[in-house]
Amino acid sequence: MPLKKVSQLQRLMAAYGLPGTLYFASVWVRRRFQHAILGTPLTWRKFHLIHELAYIHNYRSMLEISTARTGYTYNHIDRSRFDICRRLSYLTPNDWTDGAPVDYRSSNRDISECLHQIRAQGLRFDIVFIDPWHEYECTRRDMQVAFSLVNDDGIIVMHDCAPQSKAAFFAPSRGDLEEWYGVTYKAYLDVLLTRNHLWYCTVDADTGCGMIRSSQKTCLYKRAVDQDPACIRAWHNVGDDYNASLRIYEGKRDSLMNVVTVSEFLAAEWQSRKSMTLSRPFA
């Protein structure tokens, strides 16, 4: 957040008041200091957002759902922030490692045994982070799993929900692509449209970090079913035509995905900490 942009500060003050504005300013200063001294990047990544959510809401448990070729987050997580930190990794060979623990592992797409282990341990999580294999069914399945494992006042964070890149990277299967976003964006919106009690926004950082809650924690969260009716009808009418859905997405990305900036999101989350909001279960 460049502090010299007075118009942005005025907008934050008007929307979130002094506490939220001061919070984000302090985060920006801290990150700027880290960059100057330690050489860390200023760009917001998915794990930075997870850390901030844990700090703001005192979240103490986290689950990552990813694969051997997605995620790249778990070894960046500051485990001192969490009492419970777990990773479920599918499409992950038994001998694969990135140096960080894999608590629940499957060598194929089937994660039923992983889920059996989690439920046998009686675990639910404040944050469930999803970086799925970006095929449609894997993404949809991982979201459904997250709904069953997140605490009622917790949050689901999902990666690659609003990328901006060449259409070739949105192929429904990976093939030989090195950079691949797949159709996670489509499964994300499709699932949200089937559940009218879910509230979401998408933070415009790191190819779009979707934030899903069971209550409207802040004014930034919307329901997918409340989007422009004509746009939603067009979205439904394309069905499984990925080329047609991509054209709609490219033209309506910000509104369909309810895209917000990092500064807006964090300031609003900070402000919400002082408010008591009744929550409904995700399931």
Was domain 44-262 assigned CATH 3.40.50?
yes
CB of 157 closer than 8 Å to CB of 179: no
pLDDT in tens, 102-160: 999 999 999 999 999 999 999 999 999 999 999 999 999 999 999 999 999 999 999 99
Average pLDDT over residues 86-93: 98
pLDDT at 80 over 60: yes
As a whole number, the mean pLDDT across the chain is 89
Q: Does residue 15 register a pLDDT over 60?
A: yes
Q: Which amino acid is at 127?
A: I
Contact 53, 73 (CB under 8 A): no
250-270: pLDDT as tens digits: 999 999 999 999 999 999 999
pLDDT of 195 reads: 94
The CA distance from 206 to 143, in Å, is 19
Range in 33-47, 56-70, 161-175, 230-244 with the lowest mean pLDDT:
33-47
**pLDDT beyond 90 at 206:** yes
Q: How does pLDDT run across 167-179, given as a tens digit for each residue?
A: 889 999 998 888 9
Determine phi and psi for 137, rounding to 5 degrees.
Answer: -70, -35
Q: Where are the domains of the chain?
A: 1-42, 44-262
DSSP alpha helix (H) spans, the chain: 6-38, 46-57, 112-120, 136-149, 184-193, 229-238, 242-256, 262-272
The pTM for the full model equals: 0.85
Give the pair of three-digit tokens for residue 74: 């778990």
